[in-house]
């Protein structure tokens, strides 16, 4: 199940013009970028460790209701404490929980013929996509803030479509949703990175969560597509 938090803008008092970063915002942007990528690296490693532990211990899948409840509940906690010292523990709780939900999916995929290769392909494609898109935005400083409403609407449609595929047992719909989410996740990486670069996001905790969830969604979507639905739960 692909999930995406509702974007919450944290604009500075006087945001820069589209596609430009005012000189007075450059130090702040550099600080947010540095802290975001540092925290993102740590959360990805932590999430991967939790997922690997789940695979080794063969932990059961949490189920749809627990997954949705845990995700949105922890996401609420992150936003509630985004400006306090509890923000970092909340982020690790959220990413650790998402790693836990990923463990059974990876275990199932690894048990299929060629499953290890599928996981490696999805992981490599996710990493290459994230690095390429991030590098492009950092180099060009393009502003993709105009995409926010479209991307949010697309993710809502994808979430409803994914629920429909689960309840009505339609594998073809599930694959179509995975393809849609993969494209939306790539676009969200552009959107979220451009917001940081252009001074539209000054809270590195929220920036980290946004990028992490986009990467998570991209990986699980590619896993389903490369596995021809084998990892579609």
Residue 232: the pLDDT is 40
Q: What is the DSSP string of the chain?
A: ----PPP--B--SSPPPTT---GGGHHHHHHHHHHHHHHHHHHHHHHHHHHHHHHHHTPPP--HHHHHHHHHHHHHHHHHTTTSTTHHHHHHHHHHHHHHHHHHHHHHHHTSTTHHHHHHHHHHHHHHHHHHHHHHHHHH----GGGHHHHHHHHHHHHHHHHHHHHHT-HHHHHHHHHHHHHHHHHHHHHHHHHHHTTSB--HHHHHHHHHHHHHHHHHHHHHHHTTTTT--
Q: Domains of the chain: which residue ranges?
A: 23-226
Low-confidence ranges of the chain (pLDDT < 50): 6-16, 18-23, 229-233
Residue 231: the pLDDT is 40
How does pLDDT run across 106-125, given as a tens digit for each residue?
999 988 888 999 999 999 99
Residue 3: the pLDDT is 56
């Amino acid at each position: 199940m692909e999930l995406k938090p509702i974007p919450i803008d944290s604009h500075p008092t006087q945001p820069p013009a589209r596609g430009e970063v005012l000189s007075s915002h450059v130090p702040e942007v550099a600080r947010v970028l540095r802290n975001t990528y540092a925290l993102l690296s740590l959360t990805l490693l932590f999430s991967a460790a939790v997922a690997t532990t789940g695979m080794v211990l063969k932990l059961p899948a949490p189920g749809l209701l627990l997954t949705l409840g845990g995700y949105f509940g922890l996401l609420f906690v992150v936003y509630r404490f985004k400006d306090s010292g509890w923000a970092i523990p909340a982020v690790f709780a959220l990413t650790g929980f998402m790693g836990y939900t990923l463990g059974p999916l990876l275990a199932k995929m690894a048990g299929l013929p060629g499953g290890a290769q599928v996981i490696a392909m999805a992981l490599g494609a996710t990493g290459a996509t994230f690095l390429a898109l991030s590098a492009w935005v950092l180099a060009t400083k393009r502003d993709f803030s105009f995409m926010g409403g479209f991307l949010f609407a697309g993710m809502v449609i994808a979430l409803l479509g994914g629920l429909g595929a689960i309840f009505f047992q339609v594998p073809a719909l599930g694959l179509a949703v995975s393809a849609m989410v993969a494209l939306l996740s790539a676009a969200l990486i552009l959107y979220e990175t451009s917001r940081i670069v252009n001074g539209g996001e000054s809270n590195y905790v929220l920036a980290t969560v946004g990028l992490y969830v986009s990467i998570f969604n991209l990986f699980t979507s590619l896993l389903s597509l490369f596995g021809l639905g084998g990892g579609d739960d």
